[in-house]
Amino acid sequence: MSDFTIGREGASAAVRSPSDLYRAVWRWHFYAGLLVLPFMLSLAVTGALYLFKDEIDNVVHADLKRVAISEQATRPPSAMVDAALAAHPGTAIKFTDPVDPGASAEITINTAAEGNIAVYVDPYSGKVLGALPDRGTIMWTVRYLHSLKYFGSFTRSLIEIAAGWAILLVGTGIYLWWPRKQTGGVLSIRGTPRKRVFWRDTHAVLGLFVGGVIVFLAVTGMPWSGVWGAKVNEWANGNNFGYPAGVRVAVPMSDEHIDHIAKTTWSLEQAQVPQSPGHQHGAVPISLDEAVATFDRLGLHRGYAVNIPVDAMGVYTGSVYPDDLAEQRVVHLDQFTGKPLIDMSYADYGPLGKALEWSVNVHMGQEFGLANQLVLLTACIGIAVLAISAGVMWWKRRPAGSLAVPPMPADKRVFRGLIAILAIGGIIFPLVGLSLVVMLALDWIYVRTRRRRSI
């Protein structure tokens, strides 16, 4: 079959094309790529960068995040907060413990003029090193680009669609790759970059090795999606406020969720924040220093954040989510007595929560250290090359004046089984199903238009 005949809808294409099933799969592989590849290229680039978030932030923001290690004792947290407030007047709402001896402390302040800002303080000298908008580091920017958060909730819903179609792309790609007596393009690459077969083989062979990672990243990225992720999160938490029954206690609960006041895990987004019952007895609140000392005594991993109560019913919330899942922890303290009201770690999550948090940790390159980062970096590079090779391959075979959509099968009944499989995925992932209906309608319009032009 010559390159020129590919994408033509006429009888000659039907005669020279492969089997009807192959053509049907090829057509939907093309449509899936048309929808997904731009997103996959963006996600691959931003994802590759975010794998090394700590390393990159510590280099880009070294003047704020890194300090010279000193033998002198660190200043009390309250002294660091006072220094930050002297430089940037407002209300201190969070204190973040230095993650290591060479790290600065971070104090989040709500200011009248600038909103929430992060002020960095040398824990040894108490010197204010500077400030950024809250979550204003380069890696938070990359994270928001990766999740499309900058572009609103509607655009973020595209992540769910892209993930679903990425799975379809891998499935159809494996079918197209499957050896059919060819001698090359299975595990070897033929030709040179000047020839289309080189890009075809590169795309096919690379897709074979990267496909499994694409499916894993697509599935584990779903918890962040706008519709499916939110509904599953709501279902998973149920009426349990995000906490397993074994760690819930008979204390008043506020209407506030942890996700609204602190960075938290997917499993705890719906967890409600308890109230301090001590305010009913006219008690005097404990200080930030006492709260931090309590969190230290409880053994929270270094680098934990302490959300400071802003009213009489609020609590001190200590939370930390290091690379080691076993060290994840959320502790709420009564601001008057310092008593732990809720103390929960990864070990307390239910089976679904543990599975999801583990998968998310791997997705972010944290679970297996440097090896995890390097494997996913390699996969991200592979995904980028897949997207580029698909574009080059399409351009090289595209006849002038044609979109080069793979030809329709002569017997359109072969679509029934394929569409049935797609429909099942559409039921599980509603936005994917909706996009499938749209693509079927567009394909029908495209075919009708081509036929009218050929008359």
CATH of the domain at 101: 3.10.450.40
Claim to verify: residue 336 and residue 389 sit in the same structural domain: no
pLDDT digits (tens, 9 = 90+) for 313-340: 889 999 999 999 999 999 999 999 999 9
Confidence of residue 267 (pLDDT cuts 50, 70, 90): low
Quote the mean pLDDT of the chain: 83
- Predicted confidence at residue 249, as pLDDT, reads 58
3-state secondary structure of 435: helix
Please give the pLDDT value at position 11.
36
Is the per-residue pLDDT at 405 higher than 90? no
Rama region for 369: left / alpha / beta (φ>0; ψ in -120 to 50; rest): left
Examine residue 239 and state whether it is found in any structural domain, yes or no: no
pLDDT at 221 over 90: no
Which position has the higher pLDDT, 16 or 47? 47
Give whole-number Cα distances, 404 to 4, 129, 393, 426, in Å.
Answer: 9, 57, 11, 26
Q: 305: helix, coil or strand?
A: strand
Q: Are the beta carbons of 315 and 274 closer than 8 angstroms?
A: yes
Query: Is 40 part of any domain?
Result: yes
Q: What is the pTM of this model?
A: 0.83
SS3 (DSSP) at 193 = coil
Residues 343 and 262 in one domain: yes
For residues 429 and 421, the answer to whether their CB atoms sit within 8 Å is no
Cα–Cα distance between 246 and 449 in angstroms, integer? 62
Q: Please tell me whether residue 32 adopts helix, strand or coil conformation.
A: helix
Q: Tell which residue, 384, 273, 381, has the closest CA to residue 319.
A: 273
In order of 56, 127, 151, the CA distances from 132 in angstroms are: 16, 16, 22
> Residue 12 domain-assigned?
yes
The answer to whether residues 153 and 130 belong to one domain is: no
The stretch 367-391 carries a mean pLDDT of: 94
* Mean pLDDT value across residues 258-285: 72
Distance CA 390, CA 35 (A): 12
What pLDDT does residue 248 have? 57
Whether residue 282 lies inside any domain: the answer is: yes
Same domain, 161 and 41: yes
Both 282 and 341 in one domain: the answer is yes
391: containing domain: 3-50+146-225+371-454
The domain tally of the chain equals: 3
Determine the pLDDT at residue 361.
Answer: 93
Task: Tell me what the mean pLDDT of segment 139-145 comes to.
Answer: 94
pLDDT above 90 for 451? no
Clarify whether residues 122 and 12 are in a common domain.
no
Instruction: Give CA separation, 442 vs 38, 74, 445, in Å.
Output: 19, 64, 5
Domain-ending residue, one of 295, 315, 348: 348
> Residue 16 pLDDT more than 70?
no
Report the distance separating Cα 43 and Cα 148, nearest Å. 9
The answer to whether the beta carbons of residues 273 and 317 sit under 8 Å apart is yes
Q: Which pair of tokens denotes residue 82?
A: 């006072």
Asked if the structure places residue 65 within a domain, the reply is no
Q: Return the amino acid letter for 227.
A: V
Does residue 59 belong to any structural domain of this protein?
Answer: no
Residue 90 contacts by C-beta under 8 Å, 6 or more apart in sequence?
Answer: 109, 110, 111, 112, 117
110 - beta bridge partners? 91, 116
With a cut of 70, say whether residue 5 has pLDDT above it.
Answer: no
Tokens of 276: 């301090």
pLDDT of 436 strictly over 60: yes
Nearest to 317 by CA among 267, 276, 283: 276
- Kindly state whether residue 364 falls inside one of the protein's structural domains: no
Pairing outcome for strands 315-320 and 329-334: antiparallel
User: What is the tens place of the pLDDT at every residue in 155-178?
Assistant: 767 778 888 888 888 888 888 888
pLDDT for 55 equals: 96
Region 41-54: mean pLDDT is: 95
Span 246-269, mean pLDDT?
67
Which residues, including other chains, have CB under 8 Å from residue 193's CB and lie 6 or more apart?
199
Say what the pLDDT of residue 255 is. Answer: 65
Query: Residue 231 above 80 pLDDT?
Result: no
- Degrees to nearest 5, angle at CA 164 with 40 and 209: 55
Q: Is residue 2 pLDDT above 60, yes or no? A: no
Q: Kindly state whether residue 55 falls inside one of the protein's structural domains.
A: no
Specify whether 158 is located in the same domain as 281: no
Looking at 108, 134, 160, the residue that finishes a domain is 134
State residue 286's pLDDT score: 94
Q: How many other CB atoms are there within 10 angstroms of residue 313's CB atom?
A: 17
What residues have CB less than 8 Å from 40, skipping those under 6 apart? Answer: 162, 166, 214, 383, 386, 387
Same domain, 341 and 402: no
Residues 257, 401 within the same domain: no
Average confidence (pLDDT) over 391-417: 73
Quote the crossing angle between the two packed helices 351-363 and 196-221, to the nearest 10°: 140
Q: Is 260 exposed, middle or buried (0-12, 13-18, 19+ CB in 10 A)?
A: exposed
**337 and 257 within one domain:** yes
Instruction: Please give the average per-residue pLDDT across 210-223, as a whole number.
Output: 90
Spatial contact of 221 and 213, defined as CB atoms under 8 Å apart: no
H helix or E strand, kind and range, residue 307: strand 305-307
How many C-beta atoms lie closer than 10 Å to residue 150's C-beta? Answer: 10
Cα distance between residue 139 and residue 46, in whole Å: 9
Kindly report the backbone phi and psi dihedral angles of residue 96, in degrees, each rounded to the nearest multiple of 5, phi listed first: -115, 120
pLDDT in tens, 109-133: 999 999 999 999 999 999 999 999 9
Q: At which of 100, 134, 168 does a domain end? A: 134
| 218 and 109 within one domain | no
Residue of 25, 375, 50 lying closest to 210 (CA atoms): 375
Identify whether residues 325 and 446 lie together within a single domain.
no
